[in-house]
Amino acid sequence: MLRLSPVDYNRLFQNGALEGCFGGGEANVAVSLAQLGDEAVFVSKFPQNAVGEAALRTLKGYGVNTSHILWGGKRMGIYYMEKGASQRPSVCIYDRMGSSFQTSRPEEYCWKEIMQGVQWFHFTGITPALGKDLASACLDACRAAKEAGATISCDLNYRGKLWSREDAGKAMGELCRYVDVCIGNESDAADVFGMKLRNTQVVKGQLDMDEYRKLAEMLMDRFPFRIVAMTLRGSISASDNDWSAMLYDGEHCYFSTKYHLHMVDRVGGGDAFAGGLIHALAEGRAHEYALEFAVAASALKHSINGDFNLVTSAEVETLMNGDGSGRVQR
């Protein structure tokens, strides 16, 4: 997607200027993985014009394999992002109808070929939210990934501006039958599957850890997940959040270090968590390590403008090891 944002913390069209960059759930994860040293392949459809070509150059520039990008359609999907500050929340406006990807057909994607040799397949709940054809394409991809022996992860990522809870529950309920690693938060579980926490109020920064374990158990009871990972965001204001996560593997429940974030840009934080988690789990790391790596990676993302998490494994490990001072590196 093309992201258009006011400069700094201005409101939309406050001074008539917008900054452009590229992003989007799966693309953000692909860039995160490439930056961490993994081979990441991104599958989508771009318009054959200067915008599509710029998006391709951007992904390739960050080391993402774009060999399965399709070309055609009329336009790139757009979203307008107004970054919040202090007590003013961020605002996101989607303009995706009729985009090259949104109008693509399931039969255009040769999943059997795409999945050859693939170790891991990741998708988000945003893709099936774009229409029945893309929900079908996701289902085809999951089936092909299973046949190829790949691990499948999904970030539930419910977006109320794209589809209803009823439609989300139906489509994601079918897709999650193929998922091994489920990623999300308490809002996603409530909106998509109607599973609600009782003693947690994110807007007040109050999180009940026991409730999160119960929620993970409920998700595992319904779906064949091997791992459920949830980000825990305590929203103090638009500028300051507490950030941590939990991971449940059916036996042990791990809770990560908590970071206090003074945010530059929160968009892509969850995708950075997913990228860090996939990276560590695919390396065969212990679950507790993978959780800490993912949380540290996503904490660093909140300090970077744009959708992409442009950090290295060494930078993540430095933060994991307790150096969050932000001192100048000389």
Q: What is the tally of helices (H) and strands (E) in the chain?
A: 10, 13
pLDDT digits (tens, 9 = 90+) for 175-233: 999 999 999 999 999 999 999 877 655 455 456 778 899 999 999 999 999 999 999 99
User: 82 — phi, psi (to 5°)?
Assistant: -100, 110
State how far the Cα of 216 lies from the Cα of 229, in Å rounded to an integer.
8
pLDDT tens column, 46-64: 999 999 999 999 999 999 9
Residue identified by tokens 């994601």 is 172
- Give the per-residue pLDDT at 325: 67
Residue with tokens 């204001």: 237
**Residues belonging to the chain:** 330
Q: Per residue in 231-280, pLDDT tens?
A: 999 899 999 999 999 999 999 999 999 999 999 999 999 999 999 999 99
Residue 21 contacts residue 3 (beta carbons within 8 Å) = yes
**Domain locations in the chain as residue ranges:** 25-54+63-71+106-320
Nearest C-alpha neighbor of 42 from the set 69, 3, 71, 62: 69
Separation CA 97–CA 39 (nearest Å): 31
pLDDT exceeds cutoff 80 at 323: no
Which residues, 6+ apart, have CB-to-CB distance to 97 below 8 Å? none
Residue type, 57: R
pLDDT tens for residues 89-109?
A: 999 999 999 999 999 999 999
Q: What is the mean pLDDT of residues 284-296?
A: 98
Q: How many Å apart are CA 292 and CA 326, to the nearest integer?
A: 19
Residue type, 175: L
**The domain made up of 25-54+63-71+106-320 is a member of CATH 3.90.1150.10:** no
The residue with tokens 């406050």 is 14
Query: What Cα–Cα distance (Å) separates residue 206 from each residue in 33, 90, 241, 247?
Result: 32, 21, 12, 19
The gap between the terminal CA atoms of the chain, to the nearest Å, is 36
Are 286 and 244 within 8 A, CB to CB? Answer: no
Cα(321)–Cα(293) distance, rounded to whole angstroms? 10
Q: Which helix (H) or strand (E) holds 181?
A: strand 181-184
**Amino acid making up residue 137:** A
Q: What would the two tokens of residue 62 be?
A: 């960050």
Does residue 329 register a pLDDT over 80? Answer: no
Q: Strand 45-46 to strand 70-71: parallel, antiparallel, or no bridges (unpaired)?
A: parallel
Rounded Cα–Cα distance for residues 45 and 101 (Å):
5
**CA neighbours closer than 13 Å in the CB half-sphere of residue 309:** 37
- Under a CB-based contact definition with an 8 Å cutoff, are residues 184 and 151 in contact? no
